[in-house]
Amino acid sequence: MLLDLHSHSTFSDGTYTPEELILKAKEKKLELYSITDHDNINAQKEAIFYAEKHKVNYITGLEISCKFKNMFDILGYRIDLDNDALNKTLEKVQIFRKNRNKLMIERLNSLGFNITLEEVEEEAKGDVIGRPHFARVLLKKGYVKDRDEAFDKYLGDGKIGYVPKEKIDPKEAVKLIKNAGGFPVIAHPKSLKLSYTELKKVILELKKYGLWGIEVYYSNHTVSEIKMFREIAVETGLYITAGSDFHGLNKPDTDLGIKVEDKLLKKSINILLT
């Protein structure tokens, strides 16, 4: 089957609007699609509208940034967009993010740069501000030669111009999604950088709080990694999903859509759609 349950719009760090993404999903003939923006659900009502208009099979989604020693994100599907606890938590995260943008401006200018928040907002053009917008300003003003240099020197995790995001405890993220009627899924498990045994332990702990699945099929998972993550899913009784993590021009080597033939995936999708 051809599907994609992991992508980002201009409401986080993607370069395509929800409508444009829905049209791409239709063009690709995806059997199931979801936009999973970072720590917000602002794209969802627009996506639902255009999905119905263009007859694209769509489910709501988001990606919650979690506290961990390495990158750890929890995807949530078929969430109640009006859930009070979910909306209040995401609002707190967004307020922190606005303050974070100001702090990043201060850090970059302390290096001798001269950039303003207004310039970054101009690059964002009304969308949620992300590090790619900072990178574009640095590039336009001649401080870096390309986007990669901006991230490698200044904006990447742990670099001098980077301010960490407000993150949620993984257990709380799982409970938040579950209590909003959703299906919590560990995103790109490779990013956790854990051994087979360590990952299995984390999964079993989160399963107590309602963890439903693991993103086995992902754009940069190798064949051996896919096999390992699938085995862990089977051993722990989790369902599996597939997603590209499409960001548009901000991640040009990743295309929308993943083609997978897997009986367990089909079973998982059927449950997601029930």
Quick check: is 78 in a domain? yes
Q: Say what the pLDDT of residue 274 is.
A: 87
pLDDT bracket for residue 259 (50, 70, 90) = very high
Q: Judge if 248 and 268 occupy the same domain.
A: yes
Domain range for 219 = 2-83+169-273
Are 65 and 165 spatial neighbours (Cβ–Cβ below 8 Å)? yes
Q: How far is residue 129's CA from residue 81's CA, in Å, rounded to a whole number?
A: 22
Q: Judge if 222 and 266 occupy the same domain.
A: yes
Average pLDDT over residues 204-227: 98
pLDDT of 148 above 80: yes
Residue 209: CATH number of its domain: 3.20.20.140
Q: Judge if 258 and 142 occupy the same domain.
A: no
Q: How far is residue 50's CA from residue 48's CA, in Å, rounded to a whole number?
A: 6
Residue 149: CATH number of its domain: 1.10.150.650
Q: Say what the pLDDT of residue 69 is.
A: 84
- The structure's pTM equals 0.86
Q: Judge if 106 and 149 occupy the same domain.
A: yes
Q: Judge if 104 and 240 occupy the same domain.
A: no
pLDDT bracket for residue 62 (50, 70, 90) = very high
Q: Judge if 30 and 63 occupy the same domain.
A: yes
Phi and psi (nearest 5°) for 222? -75, 170
Q: How far is residue 40's CA from residue 50's CA, in Å, rounded to a whole number?
A: 19
Average pLDDT over residues 28-36: 98
